[in-house]
């Protein structure tokens, strides 16, 4: 169906941050399948692990014990300090699970119409509940009636949340991206103060703090999860994208009381956490650890932003450069969607989100030399575009 505005290019192979099309042209990939291919393309450890697993067992069903899934759950619990994991196949499904969990948590407390606080400019997915939680009217248009039970407040505004708390008895949870991705790479002005403030409000009202780390998780911001730049631990966290390095897998993690909310029969997924996807997840996490890719994400991400800040010091059309590790946004003073096409002509893959933000989500294996090539292609493209 016509759901995508596809670029006129077909890729046939990849290696690290590089892709080749069916004409033999080579491209620098600064998008990594929209924050998915954290290990880069065709990482030998991943290729070997999933090939071996495919030869043994791809799928059985969650009716049975799945040793690989249990190992991945244990690893995720270890690196996140969360207690339990539900596996699914994508980010919207992970958030669907979180939304259901929050509602059940509310019902268990005797709240018949539980409500969840969500943010302006949020993106949580395209299923009906996650679309309703998403703060983008364009994405929602035509799909009304939306799912009810969401209260929207501005992002990075603790006072707005406190005001809802003072007048609403039905709130059971806050769902928030620590760094908004699709909304324009919006980093809270003080991520520590913001998340710690939200944690405090949740604690004093018995609400669940639910973090959507689908885009910001799995090493991208320099820590395993963006919340680890702060002192808090959420009650619920959702993951997908980078978790399986391209093999579809999503996860909804929970801690404490939240981890006990789902009981037998309350949720499920045919494919969720099957042996193949679980091995992809495990190998991704092990490789990020072994190759120190979180550290690399932070160093190279900051280096790229420093380079762009220097390049654009006298370019008024560039309004802001924001990043959290390798989640990078360059905000221009005008819509700039055409830059995607122009970059492709220069054999560079980028993205534009929120109309006027050039978004870069390179793989975590990007070297400083490759990052330098990215800057040398993109900076003049943006300057030329602004000069027209």
Active site residues: 123, 212, 241
CB of 387 to ligand PLP, least distance (A): 32
Listed in sequence order, the residues at least 6 apart from 51 whose beta carbon sits closer than 8 Å to its beta carbon are: none
Q: Is 124 in the site for ligand PLP (CB under 6 A)?
A: yes
Mask for 193-222, x = binds ligand PLP (CB under 6 A)? -------------------x-xx-------
Of 90 and 287, the one with the shorter C-beta distance to ligand PLP is 90
* Burial group, residue 23, by CB count within 10 angstroms (0-12, 13-18, 19+): exposed
C-beta closer to ligand PLP: residue 172 or 226: 226
Shortest distance in whole angstroms from residue 126 CB to ligand PLP: 6
Nearer to ligand PLP, 214 or 237 (CB): 214
Total residues contacting ligand PLP by CB under 6 A comes to 14
Nearest CB to ligand PLP, comparing residues 103 and 121: 121
Closest to ligand PLP by CB, 177 vs 298, is 177
Helix (H) or strand (E) holding 386: helix 368-387
* CA trace torsion 57, 58, 59, 64 (10° rounding): 40
For residue 259, what are the contacts with CB-CB under 8 A and spacing of at least 6?
82, 83, 84
Residue 240 C-beta: closest distance to ligand PLP, Å: 5
Site for ligand PLP in 224-263 (CB under 6 A): 240
The distance of closest approach from Cβ of residue 188 to ligand PLP in the complex, given in angstroms and rounded to an integer, is 14
> Judged by CB, which is closer to ligand PLP: 45, or 100?
100
Strand 351-353, strand 327-332: pairing: unpaired
Sheet of strand 11-15: strand arrangement: 11-15, 18-21, 26-29, 348-349
- What does the radius of gyration of the chain's CA atoms come to, in whole angstroms? 21
Q: Does the footprint of ligand PLP cover residue 182 (CB under 6 A)?
A: yes
Q: E strands along the chain, which residues?
A: 11-15, 18-21, 26-29, 84-88, 115-119, 150-153, 171-176, 208-212, 236-239, 250-254, 318-324, 327-332, 348-349, 351-353, 357-360
Closest approach, Cβ 95 to ligand PLP, in A, equals 6
Pick from 181, 246, 275, 301 the residue near ligand PLP by CB under 6 A.
181
Which position among 27, 86, 87, 123 is part of the footprint of ligand PLP (CB under 6 A)? 123
> Which of 91, 178, 244, 281 contacts ligand PLP by CB under 6 A?
91
Tell me the residue number closest to ligand PLP, measured at CB: 91
Question: Measured from the CB of residue 97, what is the shortest distance to ligand PLP in angstroms?
Answer: 12
* Contact of 102 with 114, CB cutoff 8 Å: yes
* Contact status: 125 vs ligand PLP (CB under 6 A): yes
Largest CA distance in the chain: 62
- d(Cα 106, Cα 103) in Å, to the nearest integer? 5
275 φψ region: left (φ > 0), alpha (ψ -120 to 50), beta (else) = alpha
Q: Is 90 in the site for ligand PLP (CB under 6 A)?
A: yes
Binding site for ligand PLP (CB under 6 A): 90-92, 95, 123-125, 177, 181-182, 212, 214-215, 240
């Amino acid at each position: 169906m016509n759901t995508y505005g596809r670029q006129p290019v077909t890729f046939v192979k990849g290696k690290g941050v590089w892709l080749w099309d069916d004409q033999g042209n080579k491209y620098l990939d600064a998008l990594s399948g929209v924050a998915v291919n954290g290990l880069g393309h065709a990482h030998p450890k991943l290729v070997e692990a999933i090939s071996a697993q495919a030869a043994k067992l791809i799928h059985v069903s969650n009716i049975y014990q799945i040793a690989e899934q249990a190992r991945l759950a244990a690893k995720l619990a270890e690196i996140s300090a969360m207690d339990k994991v539900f596996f699914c196949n994508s980010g919207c499904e992970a958030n669907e699970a979180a939304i259901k969990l929050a509602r059940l948590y509310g019902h268990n407390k005797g709240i018949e119409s539980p409500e969840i606080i969500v943010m302006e400019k949020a993106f949580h997915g395209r299923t009906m509940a996650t679309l309703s939680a998403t703060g983008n009217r364009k994405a929602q248009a035509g799909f009304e009636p939306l799912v009810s039970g969401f209260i929207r407040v501005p992002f990075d505004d603790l006072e707005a949340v406190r005001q809802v708390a003072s007048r609403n008895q039905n709130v059971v949870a806050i769902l928030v991206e620590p760094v908004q991705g699709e909304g324009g790479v919006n980093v809270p002005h003080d991520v520590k103060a913001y998340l710690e403030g939200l944690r405090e409000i949740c604690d004093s009202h018995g609400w669940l703090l639910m973090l959507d780390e689908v885009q910001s998780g799995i090493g991208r911001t320099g820590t395993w999860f963006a919340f680890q730049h702060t002192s808090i631990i959420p009650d619920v966290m959702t993951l997908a994208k980078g978790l399986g390095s391209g093999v579809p897998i999503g996860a909804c993690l929970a801690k404490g009381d939240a981890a006990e909310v789902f009981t037998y029969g309350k949720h499920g997924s045919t494919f969720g956490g099957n042996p193949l996807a679980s091995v992809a997840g495990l190998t991704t996490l092990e490789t990020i650890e072994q190759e120190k890719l979180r550290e690399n994400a932070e160093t190279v991400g900051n280096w790229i932003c420093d380079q762009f800040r220097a390049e654009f010091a006298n370019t008024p059309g560039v309004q802001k450069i924001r990043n959290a590790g390798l989640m990078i946004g360059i905000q221009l003073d005008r819509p700039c969607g055409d830059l995607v096409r122009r970059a492709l002509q220069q054999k560079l893959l980028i993205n534009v989100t929120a109309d006027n933000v050039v978004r870069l989500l390179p793989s975590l294996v990007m070297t400083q030399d490759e990052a330098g090539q990215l800057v040398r292609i993109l900076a003049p493209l943006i300057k030329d575009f602004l000069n027209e």
